[in-house]
Amino acid sequence: MSMLGIDYEKCTNCGVCLVVCPRQFSEDKERGKITFRGLRSLCNLCGHCIARCPEDAILYKDMGESQTFDGIKKPETILSYDTLYNFLRAHRSIRLYKKDKVPTHVLQKVFDAMQYAPTAANFRSENFSIVSDQEKIRLLSDAVQKELLDSPATQYMYKETFAYLGKRFRSPIYYDAPHVVFVSSGLNMEIEGNNIGIIVTYGRLAAEALGLGTCWNGWTQMAIEINPKIRDLAGIHGSKVGVFTLGYPDATFYRVPPRAFKTVNGLT
């Protein structure tokens, strides 16, 4: 992946790229054109110069395809605030799933949406994986449950919960969901947890828009912190992990749960 430079047959010297990334672009007043420095150490491949260039004059390779579509210049015309607000309020954590597996092409759409989640400094160090084999999910569920029940710090919180769920589900940690999604990273920085959280949220909202249900699974995350070897069962690597269940929901919500709105300091 790399930035290559400027296509001068398209470039109009508008100067947008200078504002977007003065580290990589500079103005050559003598030659009357904008030049590309090509300093790889100063480029995090965020692609903002590509997105902002009105003439599509930025050259690059092996970075994926840049696309355009109706409404990209004014995203507010794609989706109204009221529609988005109601969608966010209707979004729920699903803990009851149908047995049907989600078709691969639908699952791919969820992961496609996750690719567009922002990350700090455009690190994009995260890896995505999905477990759909029910026996493997059961083994993961057993391993997570064991760690949380063996640990005095968590046993008292979950002993009764797991006992009840164990009577109803074969894989109680995952509520018998047909799929479990993992987002992992070997980048051992606190901010990477934020990156993973944003990516998981993108995936969950995309799944909701596709008629699917999801639930962030903090139990797995907690168990992995206690016993990192659980990552081997999931086939993942890296110290930072985010997990969510995925499948067709078998639960209906009739209203938004109450929320006590917080006071916003500084808002006048």
Residue 74 domain flag? no
109 lies in the same domain as 200 = yes
Same domain for 104 and 9, yes or no, is no
Burial-class residue 30 by CB neighbours within 10 Å (0-12, 13-18, 19+).
Answer: exposed
Domain holding 41, by residue range, is: 2-61
By 3-state DSSP, what share of the chain in percent is helix, strand and coil, each rounded to 5?
40, 15, 40
- Percent of the chain at pLDDT exceeding 70: 100
Residue 202 lies in a domain: yes
Rounded mean pLDDT, 131-151: 97
Q: Report the alpha-carbon distance of residue 5 to residue 33 in Å, rounded.
A: 13
Mean pLDDT of 214-238: 94
Residue at 72: amino acid letter: I
Q: How confident is the model at residue 260 (pLDDT cuts 50, 70, 90)?
A: very high
Same domain, 152 and 206: yes
Are both 20 and 147 inside the same structural domain? no
Q: In this structure, what CATH number is given to the domain that contains residue 43?
A: 3.30.70.20
pLDDT for the residue numbered 199: 98
pLDDT confidence band for 41 (50 / 70 / 90) = confident
Q: What is the mean pLDDT of residues 92-106?
A: 97
Asked if residue 268 belongs to a domain, the reply is: no
**∠ CA 113-97-178 to the nearest 5 degrees?**
65
Would the pLDDT of 144 be above 90?
Answer: yes
Whether 72 maps to a domain, the answer reads: no
Do residues 213 and 251 lie in contact, with contact meaning Cβ atoms separated by under 8 Å?
Answer: yes
Q: How many domains does the chain divide into?
A: 2
Identify whether 26 is part of a domain: yes
- Tell me how far apart the alpha carbons of residues 253 and 227 are, in angstroms, rounded to a whole number: 36
pLDDT in tens, 16-26: 999 999 989 99
